[in-house]
Amino acid sequence: MTSATASTRPPLSAEQIVFWLASLEGAADSFLTLSVGYRLHGRLDVAALRDAVDRLAAEQDLLRSRVEHGATGPVCAPGDPCRLDVRDLRSFPPDEAERRAQAISMFESTREFPLTSGPFARFRLLQLADTEFVLLVTVHHIALDAESVPVIERRLSAHYRAARTGADVPAPVAGYHDYASEQAALRLTAEAERFWSALLSRPPLPTLRWPGGAAPAADDAPETVHWSELGGPAWEAARRLAERAGSTMHTVLLAAFVDACVTLCGLAPGDEFEVGVPTSMRWDSRWQDVVGPFIHTLPVRLPAGDGPDVLRRVREVRLRTIDLLDHLQVPLSRLHQSLAGDRTAGRARPAVAFQYLDGGEHELDLAGVEVAGYPRPRLGVPPFDLSLVVYRTPDVPRIRIMTNPAAGVTAATATALLATFEQVLLDGAGS
Q: Are 180 and 76 in contact (CB under 8 A)?
A: yes
In this structure, what are the phi and psi dihedrals at residue 123, rounded to the nearest 5 degrees? -115, 120
Assess whether pLDDT exceeds 70 at residue 22. Answer: yes
In this prediction, residue 271 carries a pLDDT of 92
Determine which of 42-56, 278-292, 330-344 has the lowest per-residue pLDDT on average.
Answer: 330-344
Q: Is the confidence at residue 340, as pLDDT, over 80?
A: no
For 218, phi then psi, to 5°, come to: -60, -30
pLDDT in tens, 94-148: 999 999 999 999 999 888 899 999 999 999 999 999 999 999 999 999 999 888 9
The CA distance from 336 to 332, in Å, is 8
- Out of 35-39, 93-97, 257-261, 331-335, least confident range: 331-335
Which three-class secondary structure state does DSSP give residue 330? coil
Longest dimension (CA), the chain: 67
**Considering only CA atoms, which of 41, 129, 126, 55 is closest in space to residue 368?**
41
Beta bridge partners of 225: 402
Nearest to 24 by CA among 65, 69, 62, 63: 69
Distance CA 392, CA 109 (A): 26
Sign (positive or negative) of CA dihedral 16, 20, 21, 26:
positive
Instruction: Please give the model's pTM, rounded to 2 decimal places.
Output: 0.86
- 402, 410 contact by CB (below 8 A): no
For 117, phi then psi, to 5°, come to: -115, -25
**Long-range CB contacts for residues 336-342, cutoff 8 Å, separation at least 24:** 338/188, 338/193, 339/193, 339/196, 339/197, 339/200
Number of alpha carbons in the 13 Å side-chain half-sphere of residue 331: 19
Query: Each residue of 39-67: pLDDT tens digit?
Result: 999 999 999 999 999 999 999 999 999 99
Is 127 strand, coil or helix? strand
Handedness of CA 243, 244, 246, 247 (dihedral sign): negative
The model's pLDDT over 376-417, given as tens digits with 9 standing for 90+, comes to: 876 556 678 899 999 988 788 999 999 888 888 989 999 999
Instruction: For residue 360, name the pLDDT band (cuts at 50, 70, 90).
Output: low
Proportion of the chain in helix, strand, coil states, percent, rounded to 5:
40, 20, 40
CATH classification (class only), 189-430: alpha beta
> Under 8 Å CB-to-CB from 57, ≥6 apart: which residues?
63, 64, 81, 82, 83, 119, 121
List C-alpha distances in Å: 235 to 248, 392, 429: 13, 11, 10
Residue 241 CA: distances (Å) to CA of 157, 259, 364, 426 = 39, 14, 35, 9
The DSSP annotation for 203-253 comes to PPPPPP--SS-SPPPTT-----EEEEE--HHHHHHHHHHHHHHT--HHHHH
Residue 222 has a pLDDT of 60
pLDDT tens digits for range 195-211: 877 877 778 888 888 98
CA distance 81 to 63: 6
**DSSP label of 368:** T
Same fold, 14-180 and 189-430: yes
Please tell me the predicted confidence (pLDDT) of residue 343. Answer: 32
Is 38:373 a contact under the CB 8 Å cutoff?
yes
CATH of domain 14-180: 3.30.559.10
132 with 10: CB under 8 angstroms? no
pLDDT in tens, 318-334: 999 888 887 776 655 44
What is the domain partition of the chain in residue ranges? 14-180, 189-430
58 phi/psi in degrees, rounded to 5: -70, -30
- The CA distance from 309 to 303, in Å, is 12
